[in-house]
Structure 1
C-alpha cells in the first residue's frame, strides 16, 4: 500500500462513517448493487441439495484429507524422532500439533453431521410449530363451536 493510499484511508475514517458503513439502513435494491432477494429464504429442494452436498462431498473430503494429513504427519514425526536416543524437538511439537488438529477435524465432522441433520429436520420443525400454534389458537377461539 502506498503512502498516499494510507493517508486517504485515514482521512476517510476521520471524516466519519460512510453510507456503506452505517448499520441503520436497508440493503440496496437489486438495481443498486444488492442481491435483490432475502438472505434467509430457502426451499425444501435447496435444503435437500445442501444436505446432499454435505453427505456426498464435504464429509468424505474432510475424512479423506484428514487421513492423508495423519499419514504424512506421522511420517514426519518418525523422521524427526529419536533414532539413537536423541531426536529433534520438532518431532514432539508436530505430534502435539497433530493431536490438536485431529480433534478439530473430528469436531468439524460432527458439526457437518449435525448441520446435515438440521437441514433435514427444518421442514418438519416448521410444520410442527405451525400445527402447535393452530391447535393453541383453536383452543382459545370463541368461534370454534359455530
Structure 2
C-alpha cells in the first residue's frame, strides 16, 4: 500500500489517500496454499442435487401440505365469518410461498447438475486443447 497526501478520486487536496498496489500475501483474497486454481467436485455437486431431490423436496412438500387440512377445517367451521375469508387469504399466501420454495429447490437442483456436467466438459476440452499443442521439445 502507498499512503500519500493530495487529492485522490473524489477527495480534496490535503486529504490522506490510500492506494492498493497489490494483495497482501495472506488474507481473504490470498489463494489457499499458494494455488489460485478453481477446484470443482462434480461428485459433491451431484450429491447435493440428490439431497435436494431425496430429502429437501419431499420434506418441504410434506410440511407445505400439513396446514391445508387444519386450515380447511377451520374455514369450514367459520362459514359466514370474516375470519374465514382471512384464513383463505392466509392459505393462498402459504400455498404460493410453498410453490415458490419448491420451484427454487428444483432450480438449484438443476443448476447443480448442470454445473457439474459443464465443468467436467470444460475440463476435458481444455485438456484436449493443451494436449494438442506441439512443442519443439517433443523433437528431442
Q: TM-score range by the shorter chain?
A: 0.5 to 0.7
Q: 2:76 aligns with which of 70, 82, 95?
A: 82
Q: 1:41 aligns with which of 24, 38, 41?
A: 38
Q: 1:72 aligns with which of 47, 62, 66?
A: 66
CA RMSD of aligned residues (A): 3.8
Using structure 2 for the length normalisation, give the TM-score.
0.56
1:1-146 to 2 correspondences below 5 Å: 28-30=24-26, 32=27, 36-37=31-32, 41-43=38-40, 46-55=41-50, 57-83=51-77, 85-87=79-81, 88=83, 89-121=85-117, 122-128=119-125
Match of 2:39, SS?
coil
Q: How many residues align?
A: 114
Q: 1:83 and 1:61, CA in 2 relative to 1: closer, same or farther beyond 3 A? A: same
Deviation string for 1:103-135 (max 9, x for gaps)?
212312321232232233121134336657998
Using structure 1 for the length normalisation, give the TM-score.
0.54
Q: Which has the higher helix share?
A: 1
The alpha carbon displacement at 1:86 in A equals: 2.3
Q: 1:96 and 1:61, CA in 2 relative to 1: closer, same or farther beyond 3 A? A: same
Alpha-carbon separation, structure 1, partners of 2:130 and 2:107:
30
Q: Which has the higher strand share?
A: 2
Q: 1:83 and 1:40, CA in 2 relative to 1: closer, same or farther beyond 3 A? A: farther
Q: 1:33 and 1:42, CA in 2 relative to 1: closer, same or farther beyond 3 A? A: closer
The alpha carbon displacement at 1:64 in A equals: 2.7
Alpha-carbon separation, structure 2, partners of 1:127 and 1:54:
22
Largest Rg, 1 or 2: 2
